[in-house]
Amino acid sequence: MFTIDLTVKNTAFPISIERKSAEDAEAVYQVIVAAMHSGNPDIVELQSEGKTEKKVAVRASEISGVQLTQKDGSAAGTGRPPGFFAIAAE
């Protein structure tokens, strides 16, 4: 299972949808990136293929980031979700 996380401006939590195949996940990722590049305030409608059917609509101009991850990847054994992390300087 693949997860696509959207970071939306002025929102604390990401919006997540799931896709079963790598090809479908990559296609959704490319649609979102293209919408972000356009700079238009168009609405991007997405639907999840996960355990529960979920639909979401978000204004493309409000998306500040997108991340594509494989749910059962190498980070699963560490107890941390995949993604970015920060190293604190002492």
Per-residue pLDDT 10s for the chain (90 aa) are 999 999 999 988 889 999 999 999 999 999 999 999 887 888 999 988 877 788 899 999 999 999 999 976 544 444 555 555 555 554
pTM (2 decimals)? Answer: 0.72
Report the distance separating Cα 90 and Cα 37, nearest Å.
Answer: 37
Question: What's the token pair of residue 9?
Answer: 């401006």
